[in-house]
Structure 1
């Protein structure tokens, strides 16, 4: 969506920060200081480069909690989340009238400030330095062109743990932040939600939908600016679901580039470190941010790893051909990643672009190394069979457990503990529960220590049936839903057959076929909202070798016009789900945006499950 000049959420966030905050402040000398707390730093860093800020007269960016030199000749823009700590620190900056931190302060809050916090500012010496105060309503991370998150990794525990005492507060904060996204995009959406679900978070999506609606209505009544900016004839749709909608997607090994990197490589806060070899043979460690600022990343992120490697090589050859540096390689094309790496060392004058190619060579090579070392071709094949209930030819899998024991008995050096847990959880989910004796036998076979078995036991808090027969009355409905999930256009690879439930939901919403019983409208008068018409699925077969095999099924694309569709997942979203919204946007020519409390890698999902409740407190309830 961003590469073709269409709508880009990250760019919209940047425009709001620059236009409505930084450029709106005029100072006598044209210079400004920008003061941030930890939360607002993440918001602005995701949307803006330092160059973007400096260009608007910001000479210095300072963290509010750091010790700072007084700059009483400069005015400061404070961009803060309205926490008690940040308000207290702001007041402290101007507590000494003879030595104020800055000449004046322009306050911008990411979300509404409470009456108590406002009263604290009014009662402090800082008040006389405040030239302006505005609730800018921008309290989310514009992660990508079609994705945002709320930077709330703790939400999974607070929402799903039966021991959590913070669920209500967490839901209010989530709703507040969703509303700031709506305010930023000038949206007053029709709201739908995931109907009741068993588990600790039963009714969660409904509660969130109600809170968002109430807070949006309050904003409409209280903000003339927002009220005037909303077009009632082009209302978008916001569908709120929670992580229980699909416990399978976070467990599967994904082989599209972005998802694979976040699963298999050591990525921390979207930063990746790697070593490069200089011409003199010495090594150098580099750290890069994986973001849309890298045009190669934006192009590659949703490609299958097989396509990724071919694309890098082909485009590198084109780059060499189009530049005079091609003479250094005698006009010879490279045919693999090693030859490409060698050729790059002969072209130091193209360092910036070559660094980007070097990064993606390194990451793709590392991904394939881990793929081979961890037997992922075999593991992923079994995962897909369990997740879909079908083999690669679309036939029902009858004896799915036959391939499991061999993988579970592999030494941990070849198949780590978390990968065994992922396999076991997928098996239990696919069988809609297993017998207690079978569960214990599989745990022993895989050598899963009791402390780690809590990850499996805690699936029950996402509504997963753990013990065979406990929810037999739902079996037929669950089987029907599993089959319906595969009717949307699946990724065209044998090891990528599973379609995330969120993608199916999104497609049905765009086709105007989404079940109103499973996903009711919050308000009855919204049920007449128009959407896209449905399109048929077509299938054809394919015959290729296994790991990079294209799947035997493929569908045709359709297009339709319409308003924006927002899909929000409380409790975390996967990178496969992020990819899905781009695929839906491309197919239906609609703006589809995904939001979530945080982004989930499989490792994080397993750890989150492990921490929901201690095993000794739940093992008697399995």
Structure 2
């Protein structure tokens, strides 16, 4: 998605990032506004389901929530203790199961809570609203009933996901056409994308990639996924014009919807930025890195968790740099820091007593020293781990073959030579290399040729199936003669065997920094 103005929205609202928008709405628009004013305690209970708890945790910390008067966070489907003197906030999806649980909590002579404030994560069906309003024992106990329209998951300031792990299988598998799973997945994605614009109060032009619609070939149902998603998103967003106060009535920004067939290489090839290497080579949980700190007592090392996110200035500076450049800059930063920080200088003194003035300087410098030292040492450790993996696993050789394939400088011979000389390479690495080869040279990855290459790589039959399944993402089948038992045609046109061209006017400063994705944010 791109706004028409990078510094502000097109209708005069100051620019804010995805995570900030979500945080502000959840804390201020929902939690802070929920109070009956007549409760014995200002503390409240917050109840969420498995989806909304992810929405909340993507943008808010527990301390943020408690600062808004929430003393307890509960799961709607777990047994809970009655707290009849406290108000409760329900932040839930508008689905039948949640409504049943809510009515069970608040109906009858002895409800679990005093007053209920209900906030739905997306637009609620009329029949569910009617079901709530028709329960006369519950109705007087409702303090608010609103649609937050906030069901997306910010992963950083300028990126969000819909957290639909099964979307690829549900929408592109051989069984996807006309299936309930396809419709459900499409509905989930469209609703969650639409809530992004509800939160930003932006009304987008919706653009989409339309394949197989020029009449030259028959469009498959997979070709129409972007079309159907664009239509569903548009339908949801246009409803906001009448349901959300001050929502724009004319288009204010652009939304572009494409599918993976636009660039099948990007998620497979090894990219060499610090960010990409962290997520590719390290065992991260999302953006969470666990550091083991030696214990002074000699017992088990302590485990400290760090989030590689926008609040970390070192991460922001290094993430898009080549791993070699990032390593150099981190080393320079550490040396510069050690030479200028007073606490670091005094700690490095060899013997001798410290004067009172030295101790005073050290105490004054310690808070800054500890904070900056922790951040720098963290990233020095991470970069060191990455460089060790690159060296020990021969990733530079692999990366060279991958990029040479993509740019048309290598072929079958180089792939075979790599597989023969790197028999102990990880199965994942060999599979990724062969996937790239199959996309660059589809006519050579057929029948016996494909089987022999898989055997040379010592890859199991299920990996062959994974490569074959990439055909499902490629799109329309164009008329061309197929030979052999298995044929993988990623592009039916005769072409030079290169999926990328070198950028004009740019030199490759760092080795293996040649690759770029088809779609880039500018």
Equivalent residue for 2:470? 459
Equivalent residue for 2:238? 217
What SS does the aligned partner of 2:85 have?
strand
The whole-number CA distance in structure 1 between the counterparts of 2:334 and 2:23 is: 31
The whole-number CA distance in structure 2 between the counterparts of 1:89 and 1:160 is: 35
What SS does the aligned partner of 2:155 have?
strand
Give the 3 Å change call, closer, same or farther, for CA 459–97 of structure 1 in structure 2.
Answer: same
Q: Is the 1:161–1:461 Cα contact (8 Å) retained in structure 2?
A: yes
Residues 539-581 of structure 1 show CA distances to partners (whole Å, capped at 9, x for unaligned) of xxxxxxxxxxxxxxxxxxxxxxxxxxxxxxxxxxxxxxxxxx3
What SS does the aligned partner of 2:266 have?
coil
1:219-234 residue pairs with structure 2 within 5 A?
A: 219-220=240-241, 222-225=242-245, 228-230=246-248, 232=250
Give the 3 Å change call, closer, same or farther, for CA 317–489 of structure 1 in structure 2.
Answer: same
The whole-number CA distance in structure 2 between the counterparts of 1:84 and 1:132 is: 19
Give the 3 Å change call, closer, same or farther, for CA 274–10 of structure 1 in structure 2.
Answer: same
Q: Is the 1:35–1:79 Cα contact (8 Å) retained in structure 2?
A: yes
Who wins on radius of gyration, i.e. which is larger? 2
The whole-number CA distance in structure 1 between the counterparts of 2:498 and 2:420 is: 32
How many correspondences in the alignment?
A: 474
Q: How far is 1:488 from its partner? A: 9.8
Q: Is the 2:45–2:89 Cα contact (8 Å) retained in structure 1?
A: yes
Where do 5+ consecutive residues of structure 2 fail to align?
1-5, 8-13, 213-218, 351-365
Equivalent residue for 1:276? 293
Q: Is the 1:432–1:475 Cα contact (8 Å) retained in structure 2?
A: no
1:150 aligns with 2:162: yes
1:20-419 residue pairs with structure 2 within 5 A?
A: 20-28=29-37, 29-98=41-110, 100-124=111-135, 125-164=137-176, 165=179, 166-196=181-211, 201-220=222-241, 222-225=242-245, 228-230=246-248, 232=250, 235-282=252-299, 283-320=301-338, 321-330=340-349, 350-389=369-408, 397=409, 399-409=410-420, 414-419=424-429
Equivalent residue for 2:355? none
The whole-number CA distance in structure 2 between the counterparts of 1:20 and 1:67 is: 28
1:15 aligns with 2:24: yes
Q: How far is 1:305 from its partner? A: 1.2
The alignment yields a C-alpha RMSD, in angstroms, of 3.1
Give the 3 Å change call, closer, same or farther, for CA 163–473 of structure 1 in structure 2.
Answer: closer
The whole-number CA distance in structure 1 between the counterparts of 2:58 and 2:252 is: 27
Q: Is the 2:502–2:514 Cα contact (8 Å) retained in structure 1?
A: no
Give the 3 Å change call, closer, same or farther, for CA 171–451 of structure 1 in structure 2.
Answer: same
Q: Is the 1:485–1:500 Cα contact (8 Å) retained in structure 2?
A: no
What SS does the aligned partner of 1:494 have?
coil
What SS does the aligned partner of 1:254 have?
coil
Q: Which has the higher contact order (CA 8 A, sep 6+)?
A: 1
What SS does the aligned partner of 2:290 have?
strand
1:423 aligns with 2:433: yes
The whole-number CA distance in structure 1 between the counterparts of 2:257 and 2:508 is: 24
Q: How far is 1:189 from its partner? A: 0.8
TM-score, normalization by structure 2: 0.83
TM-score, normalization by structure 1: 0.70
Q: Is the 1:200–1:461 Cα contact (8 Å) retained in structure 2?
A: no
Give the 3 Å change call, closer, same or farther, for CA 205–479 of structure 1 in structure 2.
Answer: farther
The whole-number CA distance in structure 2 between the counterparts of 1:285 and 1:277 is: 9
Q: How far is 1:199 from its partner? A: 6.2
What SS does the aligned partner of 2:267 have?
coil
Give the 3 Å change call, closer, same or farther, for CA 128–380 of structure 1 in structure 2.
Answer: same
Give the 3 Å change call, closer, same or farther, for CA 147–224 of structure 1 in structure 2.
Answer: closer
1:475 aligns with 2:493: yes
Q: Is the 1:256–1:301 Cα contact (8 Å) retained in structure 2?
A: yes
1:515-554 residue pairs with structure 2 within 5 A?
A: none
Give the 3 Å change call, closer, same or farther, for CA 348–231 of structure 1 in structure 2.
Answer: same
